[in-house]
Structure 1
Amino acid sequence: MEKHYVRIISDDMDNYFDLVYNDIFKMKADVLVFSDTPPFMKKKGALCKEIYRRAGLDRSELHKNRDKLLTAQQDDLYLFVTEGEKIGYKWLFHINVPDYFKNNWGENKQLVNCYKLALQGARELDAESIVFPLLGTGSSDYSFDSVEAYDIVSSYINDRMGLDFHITGITLAINDRTLYDKLRRFEKFRREFILRRRWELESVMLFDGDTGPGFYYPLRSSDLSEIDRSRMYREFERSEQKREQGYKRICQDIKDQRQKYLRQNPQKTDKDFSMQMISDVINEWLRAPKEDYTGSHYERRKRSLSDLAEMICAVPSTVTTLSLGKGKFPSRDLLIALAIAMKLDYEERIRFILYRNEDEIYPHGTKEEVIEGILSEYKDLPDYNSVNQKLYDMTGTTIRKQPGEKSKQRDKEKGL
């Protein structure tokens, strides 16, 4: 297996692991690590039970042959190894992950030790690749908070990878798109928080000359004091709540707009309101100058509907008719495509799409969640083709059906 590691931006350093949105049962690697109890105890957790089922493992047989199992122990942690070829892995690492009791018993350190023990075991087996779900973050009342658990493990791997281990293919696999996107937002928030905290401390040092025993200078999350780390988590959750409240506010704003429009225009319908609002956004976009205008002799200075239609591979008349508030009620995919092509920011994009129906949820479904995840990865709003291509690379689907897509599918079904 080819050695590699994937780096994504976090704090002021590179990550020595890959954070992916993927199903562990669709992946292949040397090692899969998951939460499990020792063979003499009853197994627990939906993921653990599903791994046993798919891998064909028998708990009673493991208990009978426990003396023949490869095992490792460290403090109160116990790891044992089974084969995982049936589900795409050479080895399965079963490890007893602690429950969380507000870190009263040092659970954060125990969680770090779970990853440490697994990585040590992988190194001893000469494994080149290892996959972890986010250990300890199940649905029980004694699970770790997902963001805090991610911060703990990502900090540990980045701090120790270059010193303790030589495994270059470490992957954290998240099978929940909402959580995956939240963790990516947390990475960005964490980086900004550390930079802000560093600036605050530099200001203190500059004006007060305070570099005594209590002074510290954070370069990464693990350098933060316990108080600052707790503060970072709270501030991030507040930002997430603010994001959710912003979405609800947009929905309520559209409801209020709709009611006002219908009161003032009793002869109009809900569809008329939606078409008018969508038309207004498109025409406002048209009035702005072209971003890439170069000033060449025959170049158009202003934006055009034909350019907009061409960006999303739509028939020009479709976009023109929509700009007039007429024609067929637009599909959701068409509005998403237009919103991305017009480079509407997050709030503008949500509002434009929900003008179709504010009671619909956006994003809804895997494709829309992936689209929003892609958009959130860019510092500046990307062009439509970049998003569309990345979506296709990740899912095999496009933002909207392309011309000839149906006929190609029919030809494929006919064997042509």
Structure 2
Amino acid sequence: MLQISDRIRIIQGDIVKMEVDAIVNAANPTLLGGGGVDGAIHRAAGPGLLEECKGLKGCATGEAKITKGYLLPAKWVIHTVGPVWQGGQKGEDNLLASCYRKSLELAREYEVRTIAFPAISTGAYNFPSERAARIAVSEIKKFIQENQLPEKVFLICFNEETCRHLKAALSESFVV
């Protein structure tokens, strides 16, 4: 059995190239594509993803839905809608935590062994990266302590700053 610290990995790279069972899409509420990670995933997956997403009729903030991966190396795409940062007084922390939790619950339900997350809400939605990193690591760590699946969680960073914040949050979370 893997230790918790062995089950979480931080990588700077491109989430659409990850060879994992599922990738998480930081989607907008329509699920019909957009900018950033969302647009990149839709472009890489091909038109089948958009067609399937049209049938899902959107997704509420803090919730998650799953589709096939189509042309992606990943079998599944878990779409979650992160909160837009409004200063921290509108429940943003709880909504972001819910994104990670709901995505992991879907992963468990679909028997996903490996999953890759982007830094949800830290791009166009302006959630502070350091704060988001602590929430992400805390939720992932809690979930994998109580569940066998997913076996490995990859946190994919678009830039050096995000990686730095995630690594700091991960090292802090394992201090006893």
Trace 1:274-293 onto structure 2 (pairs within 5 A): none
Over residues 19-56 of structure 1, what are the superposed CA-to-partner deviations in whole Å (9 max), with x where a residue is unaligned?
Answer: 122221332111100111344x6643322112111111
Higher RCO, Cα 8 Å, sep 6+: 2
Is 2:50 the partner of 1:65? no
Trace 1:11-160 onto structure 2 (pairs within 5 A): 14=5, 16-39=7-30, 43-57=33-47, 61-62=51-52, 65-66=55-56, 77-138=62-123, 140=124, 142-160=125-143
SS of the residue corresponding to residue 24 of structure 2 reads strand
How many Å separate the matches in 1 of 2:165 and 2:53? 39
Over residues 257-292 of structure 1, what are the superposed CA-to-partner deviations in whole Å (9 max), with x where a residue is unaligned?
Answer: xxxxxxxxxxxxxxxxxxxxxxxxxxxxxxxxxxxx
How many Å separate the matches in 1 of 2:147 and 2:153? 14
| Unpaired segments ≥5 residues, structure 2 | none
Q: 1:187 to 1:55 in 2, by over 3 A?
A: closer
Greater fraction of residues in helix = 1
Equivalence for 2:153: 170
Greater fraction of residues in strand = 2
Instruction: Answer yes or no: is the 8 Å Cα contact 1:5–1:17 preserved in 2.
Output: no
Instruction: Answer yes or no: is the 8 Å Cα contact 1:15–1:158 preserved in 2.
Output: no
How many Å separate the matches in 1 of 2:66 and 2:166? 30
SS of the residue corresponding to residue 134 of structure 2 reads helix
Whichever residue aligns with residue 77 of structure 2, its letter is L
How many Å separate the matches in 2 of 1:26 and 1:105? 34
Q: Which protein is bigger by CA-based radius of gyration?
A: 1
Q: TM-score, normalised by structure 2?
A: 0.81
How many Å separate the matches in 1 of 2:69 and 2:50? 17
Q: 1:64 to 1:130 in 2, by over 3 A?
A: closer
Q: 1:64 to 1:105 in 2, by over 3 A?
A: closer
Q: TM-score, normalised by structure 1?
A: 0.37
Trace 1:390-405 onto structure 2 (pairs within 5 A): none
Instruction: Answer yes or no: is the 8 Å Cα contact 2:33–2:42 preserved in 1.
Output: no
How many Å separate the matches in 1 of 2:79 and 2:48? 14
How many Å separate the matches in 2 of 1:63 and 1:184? 33
Q: 1:15 to 1:54 in 2, by over 3 A?
A: same
Alignment RMSD? 3.1
How many Å separate the matches in 2 of 1:28 and 1:125? 17
